[in-house]
Structures are given as C-alpha cells and as structure tokens.
A and B are shown apart, each in its own frame.
Chain A
Amino acid sequence: MSQLFQHLINGIATGTIYALVALGYTMVYGVLKLINFAHGDVMMVGVYMGYATALMLGRQAQSSPWGVLLIFLVAMGGCALMGFLIERFAYRPLREKPRLTALITAIGISFTLSYGFQLDIGFLPGSAPRAFPQIIKPVQWFTLGDPEFPDVVLWNWQVLSLLVAVVLMMGLQYLVYRTRFGRAMRAVSFDHRVAALMGIPTDRVISLTFMIGSALAAGAGLLYAIKDTSVSPLMGLYVGLKAFVAAVIGGIGNVPGAVVGALLLGLVEEFVVGYAASTWRDAVAFGFLILVLLVRPGGLFGRVAAEKV
C-alpha cells in the first residue's frame, strides 16, 4: 500500500519532467508543424549552462534564492538565444520546402550537439556524466512510516516542479488561446503566407515561439538535473524522445494534452518498473502510445483537422 503511494509520487515526478519538456515540443510543433528533434539536445545544453553557472557561483551562492534564480535565468536565456539562432539559420531557410527537409536539419543539429558535447576539447564537457549540484536543498516535505526508515517520501522539488509544470501549462494555454499573439501563432501554423496578409509578422512570431520553447526546455532540463542529480551529453536524446511521445499521446500541438500525456506516461512507466519487469518499460510505454492512437488517432485531446471535401 505505502509502496503504491511511493510509486505514485515517483511516477508523477517523472511525468512532470516529461511534461515540461513536452510543452516546448508541442509549442514548436504547433507553430511550425516541425518535429524538432533537437529539442532534447537544446535542453541538454541548457543544463550545462546552468551547471557552469552553478560552479562559478560556488557552494554557498548557488543554493541561495538569488543564485538559483540566476542559474535558471542564464540557462533559459542562453537557450532562448540558441533556439533563435537555430531557427534563424537552420529552419527558416527551409520554410518553403517540404517539411522533411527541416526535420533532417533538426536531426543534424541534434547529432552535432549530443556528440559535440561528448568531446573533451576546449570548453566541451566530455562524455562523462557530472553530478549536478543540489541547488535546491532536498527537503522531505512528507514522510510515512518511521522517520529513520520511511516507507513513503515526498520531496520538496517534486512538488515544486509539478507546480511549475501546471502553472506553465496554464500560462501557455492562455497565451495560445486567449492572446493576439496566440491567434497569430495558430494562423502562422496553418499558412504563414496568408497570415502575412493579415499583417502578422510571421518571422517574428516563429522566432519568438522558438525562443519560448527553448527557454522552457532549459527550465525543464534544470528541474530534471535537480531530480536525477546528474547532467550528461546524452540526457537530451532519451528525455526528448519520451517527451515527444508524451506530446503525441496528449495530441501534439495541444498544450494541456502534453501535460496529461506526460503524467500518464510517467505513471505507466513507473508502474511497469515497479510491479512488472523494468526491462519492458519502453516497450510498454510505446505500446501504450500506439494503443491510445489506435483508439484516438489524434491523441487524447488532439482533434484530427476537419477536412471539407
């Protein structure tokens, strides 16, 4: 019983991370209809930026509120800039071209980043994973059983990241469906040429979306690093993939869908590992995905665009 609780907590914690990454994925997809395979790797770079900042700040400063804030700002700002550059130079030139071409450049960038960061030349960190400093002092906010050897533990950062995820979700939802910018985004996502005829500065809208998405990735990455206490060049590949799956389960392009999908995925994985064989985790995760899609081809919340013949 208590074990069930612990699994629930773990599952939601994992799902939260997926959710945060998935939000960025879904946003970029929403406006460009591009599966941005580099998203996970952008996240990874963001985490290293935060890591570097933390080291510079040193033990004391890094865990002070201002330190933490600075770390997040640097990482998210850096990633926003990176996202801007990637979009500007790798994606924009291909906007009029078949979507697959942009996908390839995305893959190219993903390779460049994930393999590039494995080098131990110059500032590059090398392939060895690093311990990520505990910038948020882990505190047990709730325990069950005797405090020495508790049965269930709930950590402050678990609650924290869940809150962040939910707030961000609502924020994005508002941005996309309630604001003029959001309307512009959706217009651009369908046809940027006609959108321009409405006076929408398509390039700026797309750049901005990318920057927001990348910043989100960085933030998510940091929470991820805090959760699993490490940072490595390959961390993006795996989380990126899972986040994408989560986004699709929820109906890619749909903001709340991304979060729900992610939490579901997190729980499914946790329970497979906890109660069945962990070796089947990924199989079950993808099986779950396929099942969802067979029942609802547009994902849980996505609607397959009504096409008038």
Chain B
Amino acid sequence: MDSSPPEGDVMSGPLLEAVGVSIQFGGLKALSDFNLSIHKGDLQGLIGPNGAGKTTAFNVLTGVYQPTQGEVRVSGQRVNGWLPHQINHLGLARTFQNIRLFRALTALDNVKVACRGQGALHPEGVGLGAKVRGAVRNYQDWWRALLLTPGFQAEERELTQQAEHLLEVMGLTHRRNEEARNLPYGEQRRLEIARALGTRPKVLLLDEPAAGMNTREKADLMVLIRKIRDDFNLGILVIEHDMKLVMGICEKITVLDHGETIARGEPAEVRNDRKVIEAYLGDSYLESQGGAA
C-alpha cells in the first residue's frame, strides 16, 4: 500500500476489522471464524476460558501469526501477509500477556523506541515502489542522524517530550531512568501500555492489563483505560479475566471458547448468557456478583 492510510475520522468505517478469521496449530483449531470490528472510541472486551484463543486472536490481528482463513483489515487496508511493524504503522498497537519490555532499557527509552514524530510516520507497505521509497527515506533519516541536523535535534527533543508525557499519563515519571527489568510487575504492565501508546495507535489491544494488580490498582486502571480512550480518542480492545474490570468498562464484549465465538453483546447480556456461565464464569460467579452488586 503506497498512499498513507486514510484518517479514522474521515471514514466512518471500522479502524480494525476481522472477517471470518481462523488459525490452526497442527491439529488444534485455536481460532475459528472470528469476527470483530472496532471503531474509533470503542471500548470492547474479549473474554473466555484459558486457552480459548484470545491471545491468539491478538497475534493474528497484529500479524504475529498469519490466519489460515479469513481477512484482517486495519483502517480499511487488508493486511494479511503484512509484517507486524507494517501493521503497527497503520495504527494498531498492543501489549503482551507475558510482559515483553526492553528489559535493559530505561523506562523512558522503552517508550521512545515506540515514539515517532508526526512527520516520521511512514508505513512502508508492500510492493516494490513503496519499499524503495521507504528505503530512501530511511537512509535520509540515517544521514540526518549522522549529521545531527537541527531538524533531527528538534525531532529528538520532541520524541523525548512525547515519551515523558506518556510516562506521566501512566504515572511512571518517577521511574524515568530505571531499567525496565527492575520495575515491579504492576508498573511493568503500565509501562507496556505507555510504550504501545507511543506508536500513536488508532486501536489499542490490551492483553490482561490488570493481571498482577491488586483490587485497588485495578480500580485505578479502569479509570486510566477510560481516560486513555478519551484523551487519545482511539478504539480499545481488552482481554481480561477480572470480570469487575471487564464488565465495568467495556461497552461490548466478545466471548471465546475453544476458538469459537460463543457470545457477543452488552455486559449485562453476556453476564447472564447461559453458555458463557457454563463455559467461563461458573455459577458461583452469579452469586458473588449478586452478593457484591
């Protein structure tokens, strides 16, 4: 794809769309006929028992795995066969279930790696022409870096500010110069979100962001996620096993089991869906909710 992607708000269509996506690992069908569409400002949830295929879904959407069937579209562009970084350039960013930070880099650098100046966003796309152009631009970039051109320095400064801002949003300013590997678990998760935001995504995929946080921190996180959605106005898709969180913030929830989509809808519907309760929530959940609510 050569022309840079059309802006989300210009077009009314979904920013992220999966149509009949399936993937197979050897004999195991980890995801089958998966459909999803996320628009700007959406805040959706993806839940299901362990091994249902949630993370796999993320991997297919972000290009880590190639779907064996179906089609993935990011802001209208078909991205089957694209590399993860190309898809990311189209505006799709994610966090990882088992944290994958750049462990030896400082928190700030972790974010800066992802950050890109407005100008510098150039999806290389596929096709020769685009590749060549991309390469040329790249080499220009190298030269600007080597010659330390004023423009380059300005950009560096901008990146730093951008990154610092994101750290602030995530409440990590005090860890600015600490190596990522030395941060406690919960903060590492927040840092991953900050990093993902650095790539200026239109859609953000969060894989169990609340894992390893205590109830209090989860409560804060809920607020934070909403805030991100509004401030950066993007679409968000959350995988989470904490029902309080999912039910609390998601407007729409998709439920997977053994790769199949067994339910989709408002929290209220899903919560009371027989199949979902059997496969995932468990009866006791109802009581506990009843008790809590």
Q: Is B55 an interface residue (CB 8 A)?
A: yes
- CB contacts between A and B, total, < 8 Å: 5
Question: From A306, which residue of chain B is reached at the shortest CB distance?
Answer: B25
Is A277 close to B, CB under 8 A? no
Distance between B194 CB and nearest chain A CB, rounded to angstroms? 20
Task: Judge whether B82 is part of the interface by a CB distance below 8 angstroms.
Answer: no
CA distance A309 to B57 in the complex (A): 11
With CB as the reference atom, state the residue of chain A lying closest to B84: A309
Residues of A within 8 A of B59 (CB): 309
Render B95-111 as a binary contact track against A, CB cut-off 8 A, 1 for contact.
01000100000000000
Chain A residues lying within 8 Å of B64, measured Cβ to Cβ, are: 309
CA distance A309 to B64 in the complex (A): 8
Q: List residues 52-75 of chain B with CB under 8 A from any CB of chain A.
A: 55, 59, 64
Question: What's the tally of chain B residues with a CB closer than 8 Å to chain A?
Answer: 5
Q: Mark B109-148, 1 if CB is under 8 A from A, else 0.
A: 0000000000000000000000000000000000000000
Task: Tell me the dominant secondary structure on chain B's binding face.
Answer: loop
Min distance, Cβ A149 to any Cβ of chain B, angstroms: 59
Chain B neighbourhood of A309, CB < 8 A: 55, 59, 64, 96, 100
Q: In the complex, what's the smallest C-beta–C-beta distance from A98 to chain B, in angstroms?
A: 10
- Taking CB atoms, residues of chain A closer than 8 Å to B55 are 309
CB of B24 to closest CB in A, whole Å: 15
**Across the interface, which residues of A come within 8 angstroms of B100, CB to CB?**
309
> Which B133-181 residues have a C-beta within 8 angstroms of A?
none
Contact string against B for A residues 2-31, beta-carbon threshold 8 Å, 1 for contact and 0 otherwise: 000000000000000000000000000000
Residue of B nearest to A307 (CB): B64
As a 0/1 sequence over residues 283 to 309 of chain A, the CB contacts with chain B under 8 angstroms (1 = contact) are: 000000000000000000000000001
B65 to chain A, nearest CB (A): 8
The CA of A309 and the CA of B96, in the complex, are separated in Å by 7
Q: How far apart are the CA atoms of A25 and B25 in the complex, in Å? A: 33
Closest beta carbon of chain A to B23's beta carbon, Å: 13
A309 CA to B59 CA, complexed, in Å? 7
**What's the nearest-Cβ distance from chain B to residue A304, in Å?**
15
Chain A residue with the shortest CB-CB distance to B97: A309
Task: Tell me, rounded to whole Å, the shortest Cβ–Cβ distance linking A306 to chain B.
Answer: 9
Minimum CB–CB distance for B100 against chain A, Å:
8
Minimum distance in angstroms from B97 CB to a CB of chain A: 8
> What is the CA–CA distance of A309 and B95 in the complex, to the nearest angstrom?
10
How far does the alpha carbon of A309 sit from the alpha carbon of B55 in the complex, in Å?
A: 8
Smallest CB separation, A299 vs chain B (Å): 21
CA distance in complex: A309, B60 (Å): 11
B127 to chain A, nearest CB (A): 25
In the assembled complex, the CB of B87 is this many whole angstroms from the nearest CB of chain A, namely 14
B157 → chain A closest CB, angstroms: 33
Which chain A residue has the least Cβ–Cβ distance from B96?
A309
B98: nearest chain-A partner, CB-CB: A308
A52 to B243, CA, bound (A): 75
A253 CA / B161 CA spacing, docked (Å): 47
B172 to chain A, nearest CB (A): 24
- B residues 31-67 near A (Cβ < 8 Å) are 55, 59, 64
Q: How far is the CB of B103 from chain A (nearest CB, A)?
A: 12
| Nearest residue, chain A, Cβ from B55 | A309
Task: Give the complex CA separation of A289 and B59 in angstroms.
Answer: 33
Which chain A residues border B96 with CB–CB below 8 Å? 309
List the A residue with the shortest CB-CB distance to B64: A309
Interface of chain A residues 37 through 86 with chain B (CB within 8 A): none
Q: How far is the CA of A309 from the CA of B94 in the complex (A)?
A: 12
Nearest A residue to B58, CB-CB: A309
- Segment 110-147 of A: residues with Cβ below 8 Å from B: none
Interface of B toward A, CB cutoff 8 Å = 55, 59, 64, 96, 100
The interface of chain A, by Cβ under 8 A from chain B, is: 309
User: Which A-B residue pairs are the 5 nearest by beta carbons?
Assistant: A309-B64, A309-B59, A309-B96, A309-B55, A309-B100
5 pairs across A/B with beta carbons < 8 Å? Answer: A309-B55, A309-B59, A309-B64, A309-B96, A309-B100
